[in-house]
Amino acid sequence: MVTISIPSDSYITCSHAGSFSADSCTPGGASGIGLAIATRFAESGAYVTIADMQSEAGTRIAAQLTSQGHAVTFAHCDVTDFNSAAEAFKTAVATSPSKTLDVAALIAGVVGEGGSLVDQVVKAQAEAGDGAGERVPLKPRHPAMDVNLLGVYDCTYLALYYMNLKSKVAGEGAAHGKGEGARTKSLILISSTAAYTDIPMFSDYQTSKCEFRSFPQPSNAGDISKGNPTPFHL
């Protein structure tokens, strides 16, 4: 999923604090898997936007890659904030020569709340003491679902939205898969072995990855392909 023979024009990689990073746009591109993907695309000639909560690291990395002759931009992005994510995608499109988006690598991910859901119930009841049956229980924490599932779901929506826009540059042809000059689009999502095996002590993380697997192939959004690699098996 990293190697490309023909450089994409626009690419974005997206990330979240404590996690990993089109045109190309990469939410989660300031560290880990996202950084590796963003760097490889940049070295292949893509116009890359790294979107991440780690502003200092992201800005530094973008500057380093730019100094090496690559076209890389950084945009602050919190995938749990729809407006923040949307601004990152808008940045990717704005810095693209074709004013459209070709590739989105959505790498944002966190481990989330430890323990099983039953563990959270037992803990909440213990903290409530004798009044457990009279009080409204504390809302369970689920940062992994907030980032890995809902945040990435929103970014998938944004990626498809901007990929489906027609190029504003004369001579670029159709924006997605039809007509002369058509551009191939790619959506890269990162799965986990947790989506295929039971991990009872990490209900939050496993639920986020199991549901994540069900993201449909975007067959009705033009010529857009979806890849969902599992890093451990690769």
Residue with tokens 């498809």: 160
Q: Where are the beta strands (DSSP E) in the chain?
A: 10-14, 24-27, 47-52, 71-76, 103-106, 185-189, 224-227
Residue 98, class by beta-carbon neighbours within 10 Å (0-12 exposed, 13-18 middle, 19+ buried)? buried
45 and 23 in contact (C-beta within 8 Å)?
A: no
* Dihedrals phi, psi of 200, to nearest 5 degrees: -60, -20
Pairwise CA distance, residues 62 & 39, whole Å: 9
Q: Which two tokens stand for residue 177?
A: 């898969």
The catalytic position among 15, 19, 205, 208 is 205
191 as an active site residue: the answer is yes
The catalytic position among 10, 31, 191, 192 is 191
168 as an active site residue: the answer is no
Catalytically annotated residues: 191, 205, 209
